[in-house]
Amino acid sequence: MKRMEEELAERIRRNRMLMKSGFGGEELESDQQRGLPQPPLAKPPSGGERISLPEDFATAVVSADYWTLVQERKSCRVYKEDALTLEQLSFLLWTTQGVKGIRGNRYATIRPVPSAGARHPFETYLAVFRVEGLREGIYHYLPLEHALEYIGEEEHLEEAVTFALCDQKWAAKAPVTFFYSAVPYRSEWRYSDRSHRVMLLDAGHVMQNLYLSSHAIGCGTCAIAAFEQEAVDRLLRLDGEEEFVIYAAPVGVQSH
């Protein structure tokens, strides 16, 4: 019993260390400072079928009043049966991780959310159940092209998503579930061991935009951090080391 308490205290101490600022202490050279090449701004396409996404969101947005969106934002866990349109999905992808511009000589991307050092160390994956024009399956967002790439099918997608999300059954009832992975080296290249705290801070910005954007198109979402790490990485075909899931969120038409 004592050993378990000590182990727990040690784990908590280590995790609190991660929360504290690493800046100002002993400087360790990052790979960028050592002159190593920069990793890609986004994960390159893997050769799967490409689906281009609409870029005009005029009919998707039903409420653009900022005050209303902030006032009414809430976690939504019950969704209508309705499918999402491709335009709605495109809007959500763009407002969370779309690329607005490229800084310098392909040094960094500028996106609708802030990110420490503009590293944007995330990839977006989707488990699609009901989106007009898309077959069911797993997709990867290509932010530089604003396109989707089809990764593949999953025989029992609803069961697989439910299991991966720790049996939160309501989540796999949504027409689409967003998964955000981290590609840590994109940030480590620049900030070495100081990157991990800021990557987690950055993830929050992405999720808040997903909440507000979902509401703007008459949909709802709910942030999910309770998932089975290995199951969710397997579902998205990620190696779990150089890339792994850190956040998830189903999106569907609000049921009220």
Ligand X SMILES: Cc1cc2nc3c(=O)[nH]c(=O)nc-3n(C[C@H](O)[C@H](O)[C@H](O)COP(=O)(O)O)c2cc1C
Whether 77 contacts 226, CB under 8 Å? no
Min CB(128)–ligand X separation in Å: 21
Q: Report the side by side order of strands in the sheet with 147-152.
A: 50-52, 147-152, 137-142, 122-128, 176-182, 244-253, 219-221
The distance of closest approach from Cβ of residue 209 to ligand X in the complex, given in angstroms and rounded to an integer, is 13
Q: What angle do CA 159, 161, 164 make, to 5 degrees?
A: 105
- Contacts with ligand X by CB under 6 A lie at 74-75, 168, 222-226
Q: Which is nearer to ligand X, 148 or 223 (CB)?
A: 223
| Residue closer to ligand X, measured from CB, 168 or 187 | 168
Q: Please identify, using beta-carbon distances, which residue of 53 and 171 lies nearer to ligand X.
A: 171
Closest CB 58 distance from ligand X, rounded Å: 28
Of 72 and 242, nearer to ligand X (C-beta) is: 72
Provide the H-helix boundaries in the chain: 2-19, 66-72, 86-97, 157-164, 185-191, 195-216, 229-235
| Shortest reach from residue 74's CB to ligand X, in Å | 4
